[in-house]
Structure formats: structure tokens, C-alpha cells
């Protein structure tokens, strides 16, 4: 067994003190996931059939009408947008099996959208960098409100029967109208709601809550807290829209063709999701709290270091995950907080933390966070020792 396949390539290992961060590999999958992927590699299957059967399982466990495995959360958003744009077109007459004789319709996206509804209504305060996937599908955003708030009147007035494809909502922060208000307004206009829930740590109940609320398409990451392969995602929702998303996806030749998802990855996602749904999340949360408290206690003993345990909160103020917040006094420690963050990233192994996290309140700016979620045994001690070593 190769202990460190990165060493031969001259690549430093990373101590993941950031949490589910895609750019360093997402999460740490259980060994069962890779065993299942290896088993899947031994035989061939029809990809579309595997996607459909997996979609039935995703629908069963989320309470949705239908589902589709995707090559990551952003692909879920792209395919959801494509489905909404294609609603009401002749693409609805086809089924996702056999040769893609509908490609002449699917390949209208993203450029040839004359006569199609392509506008996605979104609150200006609800935008983020990942909603660009909507535009990759050929969609265009129509922003309402300002950076702090939106009124229901503004959201209703943005609707255009000739242009509106859907309302779009990202599950994040506390600004703007809540999701249930967006759903009510959208459904009165007869258009779907697409929700990006990829950035949130899912609970076993959350997908059911979105479905019960009436959300039409919900996008999840499979490679974050579910701990599936990093390039896996989940799209669930209305059966008619999921079918349109499937017709646009790999292995067919629609806008989602470049986002291939191997048979091994699909099986790995399903395996990870089964494990996730059986997991005692309350016990894991308690373990993370204990680890965070220990790290904070040790860091506080270092001159010039101020560390605390804080919690990422949901809109309803429910604690979602514990974090160690770290701020240093430049005069006592010998460098600024940002310089310490950079020095840790430049260490070997690289210790990746999050500097000035956007998901905390404004009074937490000027610090970095240590997330204990994916710290392996002994890595908390390594972090503490590195902070001691780097002190000027």
C-alpha cells in the first residue's frame, strides 16, 4: 500500500483545518466508499440506467418525486437551470434512454435561447460565486432588492411571463426574504424554485423540509459532509424537471455533457449517503466540540494568541458546526493574524485554515478559523505545535 502517493509528485500533504473545502479535496470518505467504487469498476453498466435507479434511491431518502446523481454541486445547479429553461419545450417529449435523438433541442443551450424563458429571479443579497452555473446553462439573473434586503413586492414585480424561468435561492446567511416566502411568491406565478443547498451541512431531515416547503429543485453536494467522492452531487425535485435535467446531462450530449460522472463515482456517492443516513450526527457534533475546546485551551496558553469556540448558525440560530476562532496580537506574538494564517498554509505539511470567514458575523473579521471536522488523529497537536513554532 502506498502511504503517500503525493510525495512522488512533489506535492505537500494538507492538514485540513478548513472543513469541507473543495479546493483541497472536499471531505474524507469512509473506506467502504472506496471498496464499493473498486467493486463497481469490475463491471460495465448502462450509465443512464444507473443514473435512473440511483435517482429513485435519492428520491426515496429525500422525499422528493425524483432524483439525479451529478458531478458535483455546481453541476446540479447547471442541470437544474437547464431543466427550468427547457420547461414547456419539445424536449419534454423524450425519455433519457437510448441514443440522444433529442440533442438538436438540448444543444440550444447555452447560446441559442431565442424564444426560451431564461431569466432567474434572485435577491441581490442572496447572490454568491457559485450561481454562475446558472449562466453556464444559458440562464440570466434578474436581481431584485439591494445588498441588505428585499421586499415581497419587489420579488413579485420581477416576474415576467415571457422571460422568467424560475426563482433562485441560495441557502446562506440571514439577509433577504426567507425561502418559504420565495416559494409562495414563485408558485403563485406558476414558476419553479431552484435551491442551492450545496454549501450547507445537510441534516437527515433537511431535504424533507425543502420538499415539504414545495421547493421544485434542490441541489446538494455529495463531496462535502455526506463524505462521498469530491466530484459528486445530488439533484432532487419534481419528476418532470428531473427528467429534463437528465436529458441535458452526461452521458447524453446536452449542456451537462462535459461533467462526466463515472459509474464508480455514482456507486461511491450512494454508499456514502447510506453511511451518512445511519450516522449518529449528535455524537459526531459532540466529538467536534470537544476537539475544538481542546485546541482553544492549548492555543490560549501561547502568548499573544486569543482563541475561542464559536458556532456557525442556521437562519433559525441552530448551531451547525463548532469552530476555533483565532486572532493574534501582533506586538506579543510577532506577526499579524493574516501572516500567521499564511505561514501555516506555507508550512509542510500545509495547514489550511479559513481567514476572515464570510459565514461569521462582521465582528469576527480579522481572524482565521480552525474547523475540527476532518482533523485526523494527532493533527490537532500538529496545529498547536506549529503555532508555537511560528511565534516570532
Give yes or no: residues 158 and 120 share one domain. yes
Residue 314: the pLDDT is 65
CB 36 within 8 A of CB 269: no
Q: For all residues of the chain together, what is the average pLDDT?
A: 93
**362 pLDDT exceeds 60?**
no
**368 pLDDT exceeds 70?**
yes
Residue 312: the pLDDT is 75
CATH of the domain at 105: 3.40.640.10
Give yes or no: residues 293 and 308 share one domain. yes
Asked whether residue 38 is assigned to any structural domain, the reply reads no
Give yes or no: residues 195 and 339 share one domain. no
CB burial class (10 A; 0-12, 13-18, 19+) of residue 147? exposed
What is the grid cell recorded at 239? 419528476
Asked whether residue 37 is assigned to any structural domain, the reply reads no
Give yes or no: residues 20 and 103 share one domain. no
Strand order in the sheet with 140-144: 66-70, 233-237, 217-221, 193-196, 164-170, 119-123, 140-144
| Strand, helix or coil for residue 390 | helix
The residue out of 260, 278, 296 marking a domain boundary is 278
Give yes or no: residues 253 and 371 share one domain. no
Q: Minimum mean pLDDT among 88-92, 240-244, 286-290: which range?
A: 286-290
CATH of the domain at 299: 3.90.1150.110
Residue 215 banded pLDDT, cuts 50, 70, 90: very high
Residue 317: the pLDDT is 66
Residue 359 banded pLDDT, cuts 50, 70, 90: low
**364 pLDDT exceeds 90?**
no
Asked whether residue 292 is assigned to any structural domain, the reply reads yes
Give yes or no: residues 109 and 123 share one domain. yes
Strand order in the sheet with 319-328: 305-313, 319-328, 368-370, 354-355
Q: How confident is the model over 360-379, as a mean pLDDT?
A: 82
CA distance linking residue 90 with residue 349, whole number of Å: 54
Residue 207 banded pLDDT, cuts 50, 70, 90: confident
**285 pLDDT exceeds 90?**
no
Q: How confident is the model over 318-322, as a mean pLDDT?
A: 77
Asked whether residue 32 is assigned to any structural domain, the reply reads no
Residue 320 banded pLDDT, cuts 50, 70, 90: confident
Give yes or no: residues 312 and 373 share one domain. yes
**168 pLDDT exceeds 80?**
yes
For residues 76-103, one letter each, b for 16 or more C-beta atoms within 10 angstroms of the residue's C-beta and e for the rest, the string is bbbbbbbbbbbbebebeebebeeebebb
The residue out of 263, 278, 293 marking a domain boundary is 278
Asked whether residue 164 is assigned to any structural domain, the reply reads yes
What is the grid cell recorded at 50? 444507473
pTM (2 d.p.) = 0.93
Residue with cell 508555537: 388
Question: Domain residues for 15?
Answer: 7-25+280-390
Give yes or no: residues 56 and 190 share one domain. yes
Give yes or no: residues 232 and 274 share one domain. yes
Number of domains in the chain: 2
Residue 80: the pLDDT is 98
Residue with cell 446531462: 249
Model confidence pLDDT, tens digit, residues 333-358: 999 999 999 999 999 999 999 998 76
- Higher-pLDDT residue of 312 and 35 is 35
Residue 365 banded pLDDT, cuts 50, 70, 90: confident
Asked whether residue 382 is assigned to any structural domain, the reply reads yes
List residues bridging with 68 in a β-sheet.
Answer: 235
Residue 46: the pLDDT is 97
Asked whether residue 36 is assigned to any structural domain, the reply reads no
The residue out of 278, 311, 338 marking a domain boundary is 278
- Higher-pLDDT residue of 159 and 175 is 159
Long-range CB pairs of 125-129, under 8 A, 24+ apart, other chains included? 125/149, 125/150, 125/173, 125/175, 125/176, 126/150, 126/168, 126/169, 126/170, 126/172, 126/173, 126/175, 126/176, 127/170, 128/170, 128/172, 128/196, 128/199
Whole-number Cα distances in Å, 199 to 119, 253, 347: 23, 28, 28
Asked whether residue 270 is assigned to any structural domain, the reply reads yes
**Which of 232, 223, 183 is closest to 202 using CA atoms?**
223
Q: How confident is the model over 230-240, as a mean pLDDT?
A: 97
Q: Minimum mean pLDDT among 123-127, 314-318, 377-381: which range?
A: 314-318
Give yes or no: residues 200 and 269 share one domain. yes
Give yes or no: residues 142 and 213 share one domain. yes
**202 pLDDT exceeds 70?**
no
Model confidence pLDDT, tens digit, residues 58-103: 999 999 999 999 999 999 999 999 999 999 999 999 999 999 999 9
**360 pLDDT exceeds 60?**
no
Give yes or no: residues 310 and 344 share one domain. yes
Whole-number Cα distances in Å, 282 to 278, 279, 285, 315: 12, 9, 5, 19
**185 pLDDT exceeds 70?**
yes
Amino acid at each position: 500500500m502506498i502511504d503517500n502517493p503525493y510525495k512522488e509528485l512533489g506535492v505537500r500533504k494538507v492538514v485540513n483545518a478548513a472543513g469541507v473545502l473543495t479546493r483541497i479535496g472536499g471531505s474524507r470518505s469512509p473506506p467502504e466508499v472506496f471498496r464499493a467504487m473498486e467493486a463497481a469498476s469490475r463491471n460495465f453498466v448502462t450509465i443512464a440506467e444507473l443514473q435512473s435507479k440511483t435517482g429513485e434511491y435519492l428520491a426515496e431518502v429525500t422525499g422528493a418525486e425524483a432524483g439525479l446523481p451529478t458531478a458535483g454541486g455546481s453541476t446540479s445547479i447547471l442541470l437544474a437551470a437547464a431543466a427550468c429553461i427547457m420547461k414547456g419545450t419539445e424536449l419534454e417529449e423524450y425519455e433519457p434512454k437510448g441514443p440522444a435523438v433529442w440533442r438538436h433541442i438540448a444543444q440550444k443551450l447555452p447560446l441559442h435561447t431565442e424564444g426560451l424563458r431564461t431569466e432567474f429571479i434572485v435577491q441581490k443579497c442572496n447572490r454568491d460565486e457559485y450561481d454562475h452555473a446558472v449562466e453556464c446553462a444559458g440562464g440570466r439573473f434578474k436581481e431584485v432588492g439591494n445588498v441588505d434586503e428585499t421586499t415581497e413586492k419587489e420579488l413579485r414585480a420581477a416576474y415576467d411571463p415571457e422571460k422568467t424561468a424560475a426563482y433562485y435561492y441560495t441557502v446562506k446567511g440571514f439577509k433577504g426574504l426567507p425561502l418559504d416566502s420565495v416559494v409562495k411568491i414563485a408558485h403563485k406565478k406558476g414558476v419553479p424554485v431552484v435551491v442551492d443547498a450545496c454549501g450547507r451541512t445537510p441534516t437527515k431531515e433537511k431535504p424533507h423540509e425543502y420538499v415539504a416547503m414545495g421547493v421544485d429543485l434542490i441541489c446538494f453536494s455529495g463531496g462535502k459532509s455526506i463524505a462521498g467522492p469530491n466530484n459528486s452531487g445530488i439533484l432532487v425535485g419534481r419528476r418532470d424537471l428531473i427528467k429534463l435535467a437528465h436529458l441535458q446531462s452526461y452521458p447524453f450530449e446536452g449542456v451537462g455533457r462535459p461533467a462526466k460522472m463515472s459509474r464508480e463515482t455514482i456507486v461511491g456517492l450512494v454508499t456514502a449517503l447510506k453511511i451518512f443516513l445511519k450516522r449518529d450526527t449528535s455524537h459526531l457534533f459532540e466529538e467536534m466540540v470537544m476537539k475544538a475546546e481542546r485546541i482553544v485551551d492549548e492555543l490560549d496558553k501561547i502568548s499573544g494568541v486569543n482563541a475561542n469556540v464559536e458556532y456557525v448558525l442556521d437562519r433559525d440560530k441552530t448551531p451547525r458546526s463548532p469552530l476555533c476562532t483565532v486572532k493574534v496580537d501582533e506586538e506579543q506574538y510577532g506577526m499579524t493574524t493574516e501572516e500567521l494564517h499564511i505561514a501555516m498554509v506555507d508550512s509542510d505539511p500545509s495547514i489550511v485554515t479559513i481567514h476572515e470567514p464570510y459565514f461569521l458575523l462582521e465582528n469576527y473579521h480579522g481572524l482565521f478559523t480552525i474547523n475540527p471536522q476532518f482533523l485526523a488523529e494527532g493533527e490537532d497537536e500538529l496545529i498547536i505545535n506549529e503555532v508555537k513554532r511560528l511565534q516570532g
